[in-house]
Amino acid sequence: MTLLSVSDLHVGFGRDPEKSEVVHGVSFDLAAGETLALVGESGSGKSVTALSVNRLIDFGGGRVTRGTILLERQDGSQLDLVGAPEAELSRIRGAEIGMIFQEPMSSLNPVKTVGAQIGEAFRLHHGLSGRAVTSAAREALERVRIPDPVRRLGQFPHEMSGGMLQRVMIASVLACNPRLLIADEPTTALDVTIQAQIMALLAELRDETGMGMIFITHDIGLVAGIADKVMVMRDGRSVEQGALGAVLDDPQHPYTKHLLHSVPHFAHGKAVRCDGPGADGSERPAPALKVDDLTVRFNIKRTLFRPSQGNIHAVERVSFDLLPGETLGIVGESGSGKSTTARAILGLAPSSGRISATGQGLRPVQMVFQNPYASLNPRLAVEDLLAEPVLAAGHRFDADARERMHMLLDRVDLPADSLTRYPHEFSGGQRQRICIARALMLNPSVVVLDEAVSALDVSVQARVLDLLVDLQREFQLAYLFISHDMAVVERIAHRVAVVCRGEIVEMGPSAAVLSDPRHSYTRRLIAAVPNIARRRVHFDLDTSQVPSILHPAGWEPPEVRWLEVGPGHLAREEVA
Amino acid sequence: MSLLKALFRHPSGRIGATIVLVYLLLAAMGWIGLTPHDPLAQNRIARLQPPSARYWLGTDLFGRDVASRLMTGIGQSFLIAFLSVAVAASVGTVLGLVAAWFERFWDGILMRSMDILLAFPAILLAMLVVAVLGPGTWTSVLAIAFVYMPIFTRVVRGPALSLKNREFVDAARTFGSSTGYIVTRHLLLNIVAPLTVQVTLALAWALLTEAGLSFLGLGTQPPAASLGVMLSDSRNLMEMAPWLMICPAIAIMGGILGFNLLGDALRDILDPKTRVARA
């Protein structure tokens, strides 16, 4: 029995939706208890397709211009959602089709307690009141495996972590027992270990309730663990769809093959680079960047009504060397202090410890930021953007600098007429290329790449990584590559440092660390990375609390013992 | 140039820009003496004459030509409005940038003082300044500038504070860009759009405040003409010679309308969202 049957769906936007069509004739079926994964890059129409199913697209200026969306309702009747009146649709949304979004923080009201927000669903849809609402909300939280639900009910969204909030969102959506759940990139904003748990939770809940699920993702590695069927979308068309096994093992369309094979997938240390300095037996050069005991602490100030709370130990005694031509990958989850480390090295955060960089220029260390949309001043033309580092270093912007600018633009594959254009005229990948060219204007010896490819689409990501590798070889650059994405780090890093709560817990050659992790945190991190080779791996829900990095004033961390577990491979000794 | 083109494509921008241009032309003619009659020459024989072929907008109590006085009056009022807004905008912008850049102490001091200034009604505060400095053209420029300065400080400080924490400012810091470069190229350049809109709107208010001050005898001093002086002169002759009041009143209204339409159009044109759509 099909729960949802979409055929020949066309969706357009704006005044003339027929002309500005973004989804061109998509068809699929979904049975109860089944999961369909919609996979595609940004602009592929995957979200638009999903939002058309519950007609939320109408509120975003879109319109379904052709096709049918047949939904089997609770009472067994079939309804075509394309022609359904808005009043009918708003009853169906929530009650029969639930939806969870990417950002749990912005989907919840910050000034109401979690309990009040879940309770609202029970009040509205089930007509409960008083104590019945509270107990129903508690049960809902228990259902999504939130520990200590009674305390959680009284908390506000800002008191909870992203993973917990996403569970709360799922709980409030499930409160109405929807027959169909649409999950729009529900784990993209979350850390990998949390992502694995949310995926496990969704799969469990689907099996418990027998609901159908549409799972939207840009990461084809994610779907292996959850989907029954896969539909790969590109430019508003379905390029391939079929059963999970068939699509992953025997892809037919070149684009599916491209997604499966040319973009970085985590391979447990088998896809690492082996062109590092000293790899060919030559002598190891002097380090380009030496960091000793880097420590960043933020003081939580005493206020009128609050006594001093101590210090946030954001980065604690981080030390490493970085050789010319080498990439050190720094991996860790959000809040682990990896970005603060980068900012401290660039002098953007107050720090103690020794940082010494060697190079010819005034500023041998340069940085590329995560968000290419925010790191370029929208009011400056590319020429001015590239000239800024030169002027800032006190040089004249002369013929030599101009020549270098043209050379770099050519090296990062930007058209020659880019100079007079403004950032908004470029795509995300092109903007990141501008940022890379800008960082290279002063001929640095070290480039800090802070999540530099994380905001890009997977195929763009692959091309920017290739570019970075080429530039590294050409200019003998040392990269400090900061990322949460293991697959990307594996592709580019010669060595990897794993950071947890501001401290390095394991460091060594990529092949060793990624294939044979020794520290328990590294193991957990690697086990959580989504992987197409993995089908239906069961995750245990981990409900342990992360210990705080807020310590009272005067607190000093205990001495650390390092174990050498392989050549150059160090892991912290763990206290049992 | 492209901004002017965009203005004339925008429906209300076209009207606003035309009005302002016509006023500027009249003001310029008034300044260089291209008036039908001498605006100050008194003619005892032709007192309080209604509009005619010789006196297009009639004459006043002293037989001076209203049309000529209107042209020099517009010139005088516009001069005061432009000068005072220029002073208000530059001082206000600098103070706003200082408050946003240094935060904490300077932000507190500056913004609280601006709050105190904003608490007074504009005309009252302007009168206070004139009362201290004495009436006259230049003191009214200062008074009006003083009154509208806090608005510019506010308009600049908010966006500057948020721009300061953007990644491109962090990027500039990693290159070692100087504070001056960051403040002018990264902060100020991104605030030009709201600032331009604010300038046109402030011009409208300044025109009105100038008229108010002159009406009360605190601004431009007779016999020199300004729109407020002309209104003030017509006060007792309203029934006998209504053209004396109607002409400057319509001139003030038209000027304010022109600036407001221009401001609205600029707001649409300079909005980055619609900019992308145009490109």
**Given A198, A226, A261, which residue is the final one in a domain?**
A261
ipTM, 2 decimals? Answer: 0.77
Put simply, the answer to whether B276 touches A378 (Cβ < 8 Å) is no
Size of interface A-B (CB pairs under 8 A): 67
A279 is a domain residue: no
Distance from CA of B13 to the nearest CA of A (A): 23
Chain A residues within an 8 Å CB radius of B181? 388, 391-392
Put simply, the answer to whether B190 touches A374 (Cβ < 8 Å) is no
Residue A123 φ/ψ, nearest 5 degrees: -65, -45
Is residue B172 less than 8 Å (CB to CB) from chain A?
yes
Put simply, the answer to whether A375 touches B272 (Cβ < 8 Å) is no
Note the pLDDT of residue A306: 64
Residues A24 and A148 in one domain: no
Chain A residues within an 8 Å CB radius of B192? 379
Nearest CA in chain A to B276: A424
CB A11 within 8 A of CB A53: no
Of A112-116, A124-128, B95-99, B121-125, the least confident:
A124-128
Distance from CA of A503 to the nearest CA of B (A): 24
Residues A161 and A238 in one domain: no
Whether omega before B223 lies within 30 degrees of 0, making that bond cis, reads: yes
Q: Distance between CA atoms of B186 and B184, rounded to whole angstroms?
A: 6
Residues A306 and A202 in one domain: no
Residues A488 and A550 in one domain: yes
Put simply, the answer to whether A392 touches B279 (Cβ < 8 Å) is no
Residues A423 and A548 in one domain: no
Note the pLDDT of residue A116: 87
Across the beta sheet with A562-566, the strand order is: A365-368, A446-450, A478-483, A327-331, A495-500, A503-509, A569-572, A562-566
Interface probe for B, chosen from A388, A432, A440, A454 (most Cβ of B below 10 Å), is A388
Whether the per-residue pLDDT at B21 is higher than 90: the answer is yes
A14 is a domain residue: yes
Note the pLDDT of residue A539: 58
Put simply, the answer to whether B167 touches A374 (Cβ < 8 Å) is yes
Distance from CA of A362 to the nearest CA of B (A): 9
Put simply, the answer to whether B189 touches A376 (Cβ < 8 Å) is no
Is residue B273 less than 8 Å (CB to CB) from chain A?
no
For residue A24, the cross-strand partners are A10
Residues A147 and A248 in one domain: no
Note the pLDDT of residue B147: 93
Give the CATH class of B2-278.
mainly alpha
| Angle subtended at Cα A54 by Cα A53 and Cα A56, rounded to the nearest 5 degrees | 110
Is residue B37 less than 8 Å (CB to CB) from chain A?
no
Nearest CA in chain B to A374: B167
A378 by Cβ neighbours in 10 Å (0-12 / 13-18 / 19+) ranks as: middle
Chain B residues within an 8 Å CB radius of A343? 170
Please write down the HEC assignment for all residues of B106-151: HHHHHHHHHHHHHHCCHHHHHHHHHHHHCCCHHHHHHHHHHHHHHH
Residues A421 and A437 in one domain: yes
Is residue B21 less than 8 Å (CB to CB) from chain A?
no
Chain A residues within an 8 Å CB radius of B279? 424-425
A276 is a domain residue: no
A267 is a domain residue: no
Chain B residues within an 8 Å CB radius of A388? 172, 175, 177, 181, 185
Is residue B189 less than 8 Å (CB to CB) from chain A?
yes
Distance from CA of A452 to the nearest CA of B (A): 13
Note the pLDDT of residue B277: 40
Whether the per-residue pLDDT at B270 is higher than 90: the answer is no
- The helix/strand/coil state of A153 is helix
Put simply, the answer to whether B279 touches A425 (Cβ < 8 Å) is yes
Residues A554 and A487 in one domain: yes
Whether the per-residue pLDDT at B173 is higher than 50: the answer is yes
Chain B residues within an 8 Å CB radius of A389? 175
Note the pLDDT of residue B151: 94
Put simply, the answer to whether B185 touches A377 (Cβ < 8 Å) is yes
A272 is a domain residue: no
Whether the per-residue pLDDT at B190 is higher than 80: the answer is yes
Is residue B133 less than 8 Å (CB to CB) from chain A?
no
Query: Tokens for A361?
Result: 């220029």
Q: Assign residue B10 a region: left if phi > 0, alpha if psi is -120 to 50, beta otherwise?
A: beta
Residues A382 and A513 in one domain: no
Is residue B194 less than 8 Å (CB to CB) from chain A?
no
More confident residue, A325 or B272: A325
Q: Distance between CA atoms of A507 and A317, rounded to whole angstroms?
A: 14
How do beta strands A2-13 and A21-31 pair? antiparallel
Put simply, the answer to whether A391 touches B177 (Cβ < 8 Å) is yes
Q: Distance between CA atoms of A69 and A91, rounded to whole angstroms?
A: 16
Distance from CA of A437 to the nearest CA of B (A): 13
CATH number for position A435? 3.40.50.300
A383 is a domain residue: yes
- Element at B76 (helix H, strand E): helix B66-102
Residue A474 φ/ψ, nearest 5 degrees: -65, -45
How do beta strands A97-100 and A180-184 pair? parallel
- List, as one string, the DSSP characters of A61-110: TEEEEEEEEEEE-TTS-EEETTT--HHHHHHHHHHTEEEE-S-HHHHS-T
Interface of A with B (CB under 8 A): 343, 346-348, 362-363, 365-367, 369-371, 374-380, 384, 388-389, 391-393, 424-425, 435, 438, 442
Note the pLDDT of residue A541: 57
Q: Among B178, B276, B279, whose Cβ lies nearest the Cβ of A392? A: B178
Chain A residues within an 8 Å CB radius of B190? 377-379
Note the pLDDT of residue B276: 41
Residues A354 and A370 in one domain: no
Q: Among B167, B174, B185, whose Cβ lies nearest the Cβ of A380? A: B185
pLDDT beneath 50, residues of chain A: none
Residues A386 and A500 in one domain: no
Put simply, the answer to whether B185 touches A391 (Cβ < 8 Å) is no
**Given A177, A196, A227, which residue is the final one in a domain?**
A177
Query: Tokens for B74?
Result: 């517009």
A281 is a domain residue: no
Query: Tokens for A451?
Result: 């999540």
Q: By percentage, how much of chain B surpasses pLDDT 70?
A: 96
A268 is a domain residue: no
Domain span including residue A130: 104-177
Q: Please, which pLDDT band fits residue B142 given cuts at 50, 70 and 90?
A: very high
Interface probe for B, chosen from A13, A301, A339, A379 (most Cβ of B below 10 Å), is A379
Structural domain count of chain A:
4
Residues A355 and A378 in one domain: no
Across the beta sheet with A2-13, the strand order is: A21-31, A2-13, A62-72, A78-80
Q: Which residues fall within 8 angstroms of residue A506, CB to CB, at 6 or more apart?
A: A496, A497, A498, A513, A517, A518, A519, A521, A522, A569, A570, A571, A572
Q: Distance between CA atoms of A410 and A412, rounded to whole angstroms?
A: 6
Mean pLDDT of B75-100: 94
